[in-house]
Each structure stands twice: as C-alpha cells, then as structure tokens.
Amino acid sequence: MTKVGIILGTTRPGRNGEAVARWVHELAAKRGDAEYELVDLKDFALGHLDEPNVPAMGDYQHEHTKRWSAKIDSFDAFVFVTPEYNHSITGALKDAIDFLYAEWNNKAAGFVGYGVDGAVRAVEHLRHILAMVGVATVVQQVTLSIYTDFENAAEFKPAAAHEDKLGLVLDQVLAWGGALRPLRVP
C-alpha cells in the first residue's frame, strides 16, 4: 500500500497548521486508499542543518538526522501543509528538506497552503526546492485563506469546496507516487 506523509511545515507555537494538518489527515484516512501519517517537524527537533557531510552522501552523524532520514525514507509520497511567511516557506521546513537528499528522490508531493493569499507563493517556492531533491510535484493544490477559512484568523473552518480540492490533490499524489515506485527500487 502506498505510504503518504502529511508534513506539517511549521514549528511556531500557536500555529494554525496543526488544525489544517489534522483536517488533511482525517479526510485522507477516510479514503482507505493508502496509509497516511501526520509528520510534525517539531517532533524531530532538527534545528539548523548541523551535519558535517553533504546530505547527498547519506553519511549522517546526528541521531535527529538519522530519525528524520528513516521517517522520510519510509514514504512513497507527501502532502506538505505549509503557511506562507514573508512570501515563502518557513525556515524550519527549508532546513528539514535540506537535511536529506536521497530519501526525497523519485517521490511525489502535493500541497495544502494557508495564509493571507492561500500560500500560493510559498507553494511555488516549495515546488522549486523539492525539484532540486528529485520530488515530482502535482498540479492540484489546496489554498486556504486566513480571512475566509479561519474564524478570527485562528479557528480553522474551511469552506466545503476545499474537501473536493484535497481529493484531487490526493488522487494525483497517489497516482504519481505509484508511477514513480519503479524508480525507487534499490
């Protein structure tokens, strides 16, 4: 069965992303078509890139990197849940991607962004970053507005139409994740 990691791309206290990521996970799990796991960056305490060797070598020295490597390596595809900070992704998410290389290769990713403009700029940046580590990104994405999908910019109340859009994202992620599987065979 295809394994999809739903990566929560912020570690900020009081973040809106937890509710968004739980929503994605709950809707995805109901489908029964893959194994979905919520992955919270804060659970890995990665900090800034502190490995002495180039990530492409895979020669990790620190236990937090080894745990992160094993987790990312276990997935066939990803859904990134990302806010938009200053027209881009969070530093924590960028660092988490940069810690690894081969573990990302030949996998698929979709996006759920949230922010003032639905995090469209953050997702565009994330597409470029992921391309450099060999991740194929799908066309569909969910764009959640802090103004219309959150009450008082805090309580997550997504419009019903976003469920259909998330379904399209997941359909593409599963199709591409499966299509890339032969390239991941050692």
- Is the distance from CB of 83 to CB of 113 less than 8 angstroms? yes
Across 83-88, average pLDDT:
96
Mean of per-residue pLDDT scores for the chain: 97
Across 180-186, average pLDDT:
88
Closest listed residue to residue 4, CA positions, set 41, 33, 37, 26: 37
Residue 166 has a CB neighbour count (10 Å cut-off) of 22
pLDDT tens per residue, range 138-152: 999 999 999 999 999
Q: What are phi and psi of 159, to 5 degrees?
A: -65, 145
Q: Residue 47 has what pLDDT?
A: 87
Q: How confident is the model at residue 40 (pLDDT cuts 50, 70, 90)?
A: very high
Q: Does the reported pTM lie above 0.75?
A: yes
Closest listed residue to residue 80, CA positions, set 31, 35, 32, 130: 130
For residue 186, pLDDT over 80 is answered with no
Residues 6+ apart with CB under 8 A from 174: 2, 4, 33, 34, 77
Residue 105 has a CB neighbour count (10 Å cut-off) of 15
For residue 37, pLDDT over 90 is answered with yes
Range of the domain at 147: 3-184
Closest listed residue to residue 170, CA positions, set 72, 9, 23: 23
35, β-bridge pairs: 3
Q: Residue 185 has what pLDDT?
A: 73
Number of domains in the chain: 1
Find tokens 């065979």 and name the residue. 185
Q: Residue 9 has what pLDDT?
A: 97
Token duo for residue 57: 């070598």
pLDDT tens per residue, range 117-175: 999 999 999 999 999 999 999 999 999 999 999 999 899 999 999 999 999 999 999 99
CATH assignment of the domain containing 176: 3.40.50.360
